[in-house]
Amino acid sequence: MTKTILRALAGEVLPVPPIWMMRQAGRYLPEYRATRAEAGDFLSLCYNPELAAEVTLQPIRRYGFDAAILFADILLLPQALGCDLWFVTGEGPRLSTVTTEADFDKLGRGEMIHDTLSPIYETVRRLRRSLPEETTLIGFAGAPWTVATYMIAGRGTKDQGPAHALKAENRPLFEKIMARLEESTVDYLSEQVKAGAEVVKLFDSWAGSLDDADFALYARESARRITQELKSRHPGLPVIAFPRQAGAGYVGFHAATGADCVAVDDSVTPEWAAEHVQVSGCVQGNLASSHMVTGGDALVAETRRVVEALGKGPHIFNLGHGITPDADPENVKLMIDTVRETRRDTGGGADGGA
């Protein structure tokens, strides 16, 4: 039987939606913390195929999720292009900035990224050999706009102000950065697919900070070009797009980009997503990640609400954002049990489940 996530991505409505969770391999798990300590630091963990595969497998062993997502980081790509990357404890990533033509001219392309990223591809190969046969392997990359915001600011920012400023003050340079990222993102994801990824996801975490015109250009159109080229290279490849906090921009995103699934965050209700987004194809989402911290009856009720609201169309159950380090692992189990106990009337009598 075809894997449940692949069935949902193909448009099938299942009585029990398949489940995975953004950042499911991470700091909320004691086994992850132990493996990270063994690696020494975050980047060493990302670039160690044995340990990166191990942390990817940990939540599959513990919970039996229907998909594993490659353990890596969206900023490995700019590092592969030539940016300096390091992490400051308690503060997050830092990058050497790209704000001038001279900075841009130092960026690499082509085979240069694959030399740096070859350990990531080896992690994918190891995972494809090690995962249970029913578990889908998802590869991923950051979308160009989101990655560009870090490259331009040199760090994460609350409003992506430096990237917006460069876009306004030097649009030609900004668009050159975006074009290089689009090209490299396709190459990066394509190599993940060659190594064994069955689905790819494009994370545009800061899409919501773009106004309507720039959202059309730098979130929607960028996702379309990447999706189109990936599907040209790998016919039949399912693509999940996540333009986080897009609001009304979620509407029509499937058709405009060619994505097989649109992930929605929890700033929109599941009922709204069913009415306005799921009519065009598979939706992924969208339980608030805070429930993984607080648990209890509210977690059960909201999980059931998401399952039932999105039960009339193809759906992959997930959070509206990544699970946070302060989450309780027992709440994750409660969520999964609730999803799998909340069967839906799909209207088609499909014989399937998670």
Residue-wise pLDDT tens digits, 96-152? 999 999 999 999 987 889 999 999 999 999 999 999 999 999 999 999 999 999 999
As a whole number of angstroms, the distance between CA 320 and CA 203 comes to 12
Q: E strands, the chain, where?
A: 67-69, 85-88, 92-95, 136-142, 199-204, 239-243, 261-263, 282-287, 315-319
pLDDT for 68 beyond 80:
yes
As a whole number of angstroms, the distance between CA 213 and CA 190 comes to 29
Residue 330, burial from CB neighbour count under 10 angstroms (0-12, 13-18, 19+) = exposed
Mean pLDDT for 201-205 is 98
pLDDT for 348 beyond 50:
no
Residue 248, burial from CB neighbour count under 10 angstroms (0-12, 13-18, 19+) = exposed
pLDDT for 350 beyond 80:
no
pLDDT for 225 beyond 50:
yes
Residue 159, burial from CB neighbour count under 10 angstroms (0-12, 13-18, 19+) = exposed
Residue-wise pLDDT tens digits, 235-254? 999 999 999 999 999 999 99
* Residue 47 backbone dihedrals phi, psi, to 5 degrees: -95, 10
Architecture of domain 28-269: Alpha-Beta Barrel (3.20)
| Number of other CB atoms surrounding residue 10 within 10 Å | 15
Report residue 90's pLDDT band, with 50, 70 and 90 as the boundaries: confident
Mean pLDDT for 206-214 is 97
Strands 92-95 and 85-88: antiparallel
Question: CA 83, 85, 90 angle in degrees (round to 5)?
Answer: 150
pLDDT for 31 beyond 50:
yes
Whose structure tokens read 């917006």? 164
Strands 282-287 and 239-243: unpaired
As a whole number of angstroms, the distance between CA 211 and CA 290 comes to 27
Q: What is the pLDDT of residue 265?
A: 98
184: Cβ–Cβ under 8 A, 6 or more apart, which residues?
77, 80, 81, 109, 113
Which residues form the catalytic set? Answer: 23, 27, 36, 73, 150
pLDDT for 319 beyond 80:
yes
Report residue 1's pLDDT band, with 50, 70 and 90 as the boundaries: low
pLDDT for 208 beyond 50:
yes
The mean of the pLDDT values for the chain is: 95
Report residue 344's pLDDT band, with 50, 70 and 90 as the boundaries: low
